Amino acid sequence: TLYLNFYHPGGGKPAFYAYQVTGSEKVAAIGGKPIDCWKLRIDYSPVAHATFFITKDSKELIKMEEDFGQGVLYNVKLATTVSIK
C-alpha cells in the first residue's frame, strides 16, 4: 500500500489516500497487441474509486476507470503514429 496526498480540483481539500495494487491485466492496444499492466486502485469514499492501469515495462499510465457513484468515467491514452524524417 502506498499513501499519497491527492488533490482533485473542485473536489475539496487535499487528503492522503491509500493506493493498492489489486492485480494485473492485459489492455488491448491498437493493432491488437496486448499491453501488460498493473492495476492500482484508490478509494476516494465508500462509493467512489478509481483504477489506474500502469504498464509493467515503461511504468506509463495508459488507462483510468473512475466510478464516482453515479456513473463511470474512462480516460484512455490514444496511440498515434508519427513519421520522423
Strand ranges in the chain using DSSP code E only, listed in sequence order = 2-6, 15-28, 34-43, 49-55, 61-67, 72-76
- Residue 83 pLDDT exceeds 60: no
- Residue 22 pLDDT exceeds 70: yes
- Residue 20's CB is within 10 A of a number of other CB atoms, namely 12
Mean pLDDT of 15-43: 89
Query: Which three cell numbers mark 33?
Result: 497487441
What is the C-alpha separation between 53 and 2, in angstroms, rounded?
16
- Between 3 and 8, the more confident residue is 3
Least Cα distance to 50 among 15, 13, 19 occurs for 19
Kindly report the pTM of this predicted structure.
0.79
Mean pLDDT of 58-83: 81
Render pLDDT for 35-67 as a digit per residue (tens, 0 to 9): 999 999 998 888 889 999 999 999 998 999 999
